[in-house]
Amino acid sequence: MKERAEKEYLIHATVRALTTAFGAAMGGDGPLLWAAMAILWASFDTVFSLRKAAIYRKFEGRQCITNRLSEATFQQSILGGHVECSALCQRNGDCQSFNIGVASPYHCQLLSLGQSDIALSSSTYVQYFDINAQVTAETDNPGNRGNWSPLVRCLPGSYIHAVRIKYDEYSGDDAIGVSQLQIFCSFPNGYEANNMVIGVSDYEPDGTWLPYQRCPSGTWIKAWDQSVMPFAGPFADNDALNNLVFHCSADVNGRLGLGTTLEGTGDARYPPSSAECPFSMVACGVQTRVQKDQGFKDDTAMNHIQFECCFVDL
C-alpha cells in the first residue's frame, strides 16, 4: 500500500508538471495532450492495457448525447476529471470521444462517434475528440449484390476534395448506372495528394466519364446522396447504384455543416438516401460494393458505397 501510494503521489506530481508545461507552451489553445498524462495516471493500475496513445481535442460548451458507451464519476480530481476520463477512454476499445462535466463531482461519459450524432450546447459539459478517430458513414439504401472491394484512403493529412463518376445512362438494355468512381485527395495547403479509381475492375464497363466535380478551395467532401434501383426481378434490367450527389463542407474543418452541392449523374428515377460525416470530420477514404461481370446475365456494377471520415483540426 505504501509503495502504491508513493507511486501515485509521483504520478500526480508529474501530471501537474506536465499540465503546467503544456499550458505554458500552448496558451490554452489547440489539441490538449491528455494522452501522456493518461498513460501516467494508468501506470499504477496493473490491469491497464494501453490501446493507443490518443490526443484529444477539446470543444467547449458541447455535449454529445448519442452513442454513449459507459459513464463514471470522479469525486475528486486534480485536473477536473480529464486525466481519469481520457484514461478510461483509452482502455475502452470503442471509445473515440468523451464528455466531462465542468464541476465536481466530475461526470465522465465515454462515446463512440457516428454519422447520426446529436450534440447539445452545454454550460456544464465539454466534449473531447480523439484526433485519430475514424468513422464509417453509409446510407440506408444499399444495393446488396456483389462483394466489397478493399478500402482505399487518402494520404495521411489529406482529404477528398473532388470526384469523377463513370455512368451508363439507363436504356433498358443491360445498363449498369454508376460503374466507377475516381476520387481526388488534396492537402490543406492546396497541394494534390493521391487519386484513385475504384469500382468495376474485371472488365471495361460501358458508359461515360462525367466531368470533374470539385469542392471549393479549402473544403472537402462531407456528405452524399445515393440513389439505388430496387431489385426488379431476374428478367428486368437492374442497374443498382445510379446517382451519387456529393456535398462539400461549409468550412475547412467540417464543423459548420454543408456548403456546395456537386452535380452527380442527374439520374432522378429513384429517391435518394443521405449520409454525412460527423462533426469536425470529412471524407478521407472510400469502399465500394461491386458485382463482377455476369456474362450474358444482367449486370449491376457498383451497388453501394461507404466513406471513411477523418477528424480535421486546421
Predicted local distance difference test score (pLDDT) of residue 293: 81
More confident residue, 20 or 240: 240
Predicted local distance difference test score (pLDDT) of residue 157: 95
| Phi, psi of 21, deg, nearest 5 | -65, -45
Q: Is the model's pLDDT at 105 over the cut of 60?
A: yes
Q: Is the model's pLDDT at 7 over the cut of 80?
A: no
Predicted local distance difference test score (pLDDT) of residue 9: 38
The whole-chain average pLDDT of the chain stands at 84
Predicted local distance difference test score (pLDDT) of residue 12: 44
Q: Is the model's pLDDT at 46 over the cut of 60?
A: no
Q: Is the model's pLDDT at 229 over the cut of 50?
A: yes
Q: Which band of pLDDT confidence, cut at 50, 70 and 90, is reported for residue 19?
A: very low
Q: Which band of pLDDT confidence, cut at 50, 70 and 90, is reported for residue 300?
A: confident
pTM assigned to the model: 0.80
Task: State how far the Cα of 217 lies from the Cα of 52, in Å rounded to an integer.
Answer: 33
Predicted local distance difference test score (pLDDT) of residue 284: 98
- pLDDT above 70: percentage of residues in the chain: 82
Among 25, 52, 24, 19, which Cα is nearest to 37's? 19
Q: Is the model's pLDDT at 23 over the cut of 60?
A: no
Task: State how far the Cα of 222 lies from the Cα of 16, in Å rounded to an integer.
Answer: 39
Predicted local distance difference test score (pLDDT) of residue 308: 97
DSSP string of 145-176, one letter each residue: -SEEPPPEEPPTT-EEEEEEEEEE---SSS--
Predicted local distance difference test score (pLDDT) of residue 10: 40
More confident residue, 305 or 170: 305
Q: Is the model's pLDDT at 16 over the cut of 80?
A: no
Indicate the domain borders of the chain. Answer: 2-132, 135-311
Predicted local distance difference test score (pLDDT) of residue 53: 63
Predicted local distance difference test score (pLDDT) of residue 49: 33
Predicted local distance difference test score (pLDDT) of residue 2: 41
Matching residue, cell 453509409: 138
Classify domain 135-311 at the CATH superfamily level.
Vitelline membrane outer layer protein I (VOMI) (2.100.10.20)
SS3 category, 14: helix
CATH of domain 2-132: 3.50.4.10
Q: If 0-12 CB within 10 Å is exposed, 13-18 middle and 19+ buried, where does residue 3 land? A: exposed
DSSP string of 76-112, one letter each residue: --TTTTHHHHHHHHHHSTT--EEEEESSSSEEEEEE-
SS3 category, 168: strand
More confident residue, 296 or 94: 94
